[in-house]
Chains A and B, each alone.
Chain A
Amino acid sequence: MGTNGEAQSIAHVMLRYVIALLLVTLAVLVSLSLQNSFGNPFWFFFSAAVILSTWFGRTGPGWLAVVCSTLAVMYYFTPPVRSFSVSPSELPYLVTFVVCEVGVTRLISWRRKTEDALRQARDELEARVAERTVELKTANDALLKQMEEQRRTEETLQTTRAELARAARITTIGELTASIAHEVNQPLAAVVANADACVAWLSREHPDLPEAKAAAERATQGATRASDVITRIRSLINKTTTEKSQVPINRIIEQTAALAEEQAAKNQVQIRLELSPDSPVVLGDSIQLQQVVLNLVMNGIEAMTTVADRRKTLTVQSHIQNGDLIRVAVLDSGIGLSEEVKQRLFEPFFTTRTKGMGMGLSISRSIIEAHGGRLWGESNGTAGSVFQFTLPGEAARLV
């Protein structure tokens, strides 16, 4: 390859010299043929030969053309003609010619070099641009990949966060349950011990009524204490529901829908809102009401996970009924409610899911009831179910 390339380049250089010679020869021939009609026009043609030789053949052939032209001029066009000698009177003429030719070849050679440098610079620039383009593309690809990764990380984070929240909730409920269990179990133990004692005193051969009475009284006290514990827990729960304010129910629904959007998209569920144009307002705890709506929406999405033969649409509606009652309905096109499920819907710890706590609807119902409303669920015509709740409107409260 190397020698081949070298030979090629040598041939190329030779060709350039040959062209220079040919151009000069052509100039000689043309000048000779035109000499008779126009006198002595050799200037012009030799200059053209030198210019072309220098332009296409670069410096070496340029010089060759200058030398050959000079020799040809000395031989053919300066007296004595057909001889290389030059008469002294013609010497200034020849010198001028040579100087001009040298000037031309230098000038053209310089122009050519400049042009070459320019072209090379342009080529280099282009190469560099191409290189940078590739680099940019790589960087861009990396960036896209990173963004994709980040998106996935965020998704994981969100899932983890949701799981964590659930775990925390369950832990809290677990702790609460354990503490309630202890609080209630203690008086119950007293009731059982005293009732057993009472029976024992009565079952003796000679029943001891005063002892039996005392035991029975203690059993009653124990039962009263257990009931007090329950009352206390209930008041504790009620205490947290007193954060009441005017709540625009449509806003709550919109916020909840936004919250559930991701979960819905993941399950290919479309959420549709059909909200009352009258912007109904209720008096209540916005966070709790949002919790209820979110719960119903999530349940609806969950009910559609296994649906494959129809569109998965979750519709949330708000209406004003009879002028003072606000009704919110959540409709899904899911698996609907069997008779057995319908019976037990609101039982605490009842769930149809493997992962569910079974507390959602039961808590939701107590929240709605604490707001003076009603919550119920039924089958939704042909497919799916509808859960709805009513709340007294703010206007109703003021009347």
Chain B
Amino acid sequence: MKDQDPIVFVIDDDRMIREGMQSLIRSVGLRVEMFASAQDFLDAKRADAPACLVLDVRMPGLSGLDLQLKLRDGGIPVPIIFITGHGDIPMSVRAMKEGAHEFLTKPVRGQDLLDAVQKAIAADRMLREERKDADEIRVRFDSLTPREKEVLELVVAGLLNKQIADQLRMSELTVKTHRAHVMEKTQAESLAHLVRMSERLKSAARK
């Protein structure tokens, strides 16, 4: 299998459940890695590919909810499918609030688990693409000089070249030159494209 193939991490302290779920997920052609504890998962070297976590809430040591918080704080945004012994409402509410992707009760119906896994992987794939795009855009924007950045801000704000020249105390011709550089370095196809990319960077920074 290729490194970019999606991967499912199954974390459950019960060996039989772990192996059952692993086998089930593998049967539909997905890559599966199993861990007996949350700590094992954190310690492991994980492949860079679309992924999701199938996580038992109640485990000795680091619990499922603890792991969720750790991953979030560590900036590792992986969709999590929680598995719980019985419908523990306060616990599921907490998990959902922290951004759990899905919450399933034991015993989990095979099809429910597979559906949840597929959805989670699709969601992660989209997130990763978005992140990748944003990263590329950031690299391009980072290559701008400070002066070009100033011009970019005002262009995006909708000012005319003449207004920008006044505000930055430079000739209109210089503004035009900077503007051309900005368009070239960011690979913007149009003013609208430039605005969109800029917005996207800002929203990514906000997140």
Most buried by A among B20, B109, B110: B20
B165 at interface (Cβ–Cβ under 8 A)? no
Q: How far is the CB of A285 from chain B (nearest CB, A)?
A: 34
**Given the known A-B contacts A196-B109, A197-B27, A204-B27, are A190 and B86 also in contact in the complex, defined by CB atoms under 8 Å?**
no
A197 to B107, CA, bound (A): 13
Q: Is A82 close to B, CB under 8 A?
A: no
In the complex, whether A236 has a CB less than 8 A from a CB of chain B is: no
Select which of A198, A199, A211, A222 is within 8 A of B16 by beta carbon. Answer: A222
Task: Give the contacting residue for B108; candidates A181, A193, A211, A219; CB below 8 A.
Answer: A193
Report Cα–Cα, A193/B23, bound state, in Å. Answer: 9
Question: B108 near A192 (CB under 8 angstroms)?
Answer: yes
Indicate which residue in A191, A194, A225 contacts B23 across the interface (CB closer than 8 Å). A194
Instruction: Tell me, yes or no, whether A186 is within 8 Å of chain B by CB.
Output: yes
Determine the distance from Cα of A281 to Cα of B167 in the docked complex, in whole angstroms.
110
A225 touching B85, Cβ below 8 Å: no
Per the bound structure, the CA–CA distance linking A218 and B20 in Å amounts to 7
B27 contacts A219, C-beta separation under 8 Å: no
- Give the residues from 20 to 60 in chain B that come closer than 8 angstroms, CB to CB, to chain A: 20-21, 23-24, 26-28
In the complex, what distance in Å separates the CA atom of A391 from the CA atom of B173?
Answer: 112
> Within the complex, what minimum Cβ distance (angstroms) separates A130 from chain B?
73
Q: Indicate whether B14 reaches chain A with its CB closer than 8 angstroms.
A: yes
Count of inter-chain pairs, beta carbons less than 8 A: 83
Interface positions, chain A 153-185, Cβ under 8 Å from B, are 181-182, 185
Contact of A296 with B by CB under 8 A? no
Q: Is B142 an interface residue (CB 8 A)?
A: no
Contact of B110 among A181, A190, A192, A225 (CB under 8 A): A192
Instruction: Confirm or deny: B19 has a beta carbon within 8 angstroms of a beta carbon on chain A.
Output: yes
* Complex interface bits, A214-243 against B, C-beta within 8 A gives 1, otherwise 0: 110011011001000000000000000000
**Nearest Cβ distance between residue B205 and chain A, in whole angstroms?**
42
Contact B109 A186 (CB under 8 A): no
* B28: A residues at CB distance < 8 A: 200
Q: Are B27 and A193 in contact (CB under 8 A)?
A: no
Do A215 and B85 have beta carbons less than 8 Å apart?
no
Complex interface: chain B residues within 8 A of A221 (CB): 16
A188 neighbours in B (Cβ, 8 Å): 106-107
* Pairwise interchain contact B14-A190, C-beta atoms closer than 8 A: yes
Contact A189 B107 (CB under 8 A): yes
For B91-113 the 0/1 string (1 means CB < 8 A from A) is: 00000000000000011111101
| Pairwise interchain contact B85-A185, C-beta atoms closer than 8 A | yes
Please measure, in the bound complex, the distance between the C-alpha atom of A198 and the C-alpha atom of B14, giving whole angstroms: 18
| Residue B155 at the chain A interface, CB threshold 8 Å | no
A336 cross-chain contacts in B, Cβ below 8 A: none
Does residue B122 face the partner (Cβ distance < 8 Å to A)?
no
CA distance A203 to B73 in the complex (A): 41
Give A contacts to B, CB under 8 Å: 181-182, 185-194, 196-201, 204, 208, 211, 214-215, 218-219, 221-222, 225
Q: A192-B108, A215-B24 are in contact. List 14 more A-B contacts (CB 8 A).
A: A181-B86, A186-B85, A188-B107, A189-B108, A193-B21, A193-B107, A193-B108, A193-B110, A196-B111, A197-B24, A198-B23, A199-B110, A218-B19, A221-B16
Cross-chain pairs A/B with CB under 8 angstroms, 13 sampled: A188-B106, A189-B107, A192-B20, A192-B107, A193-B110, A193-B113, A194-B20, A196-B110, A197-B23, A197-B24, A200-B24, A211-B26, A215-B24
Binding site for A on B (CB under 8 A): 14, 16-17, 19-21, 23-24, 26-28, 85-86, 106-111, 113
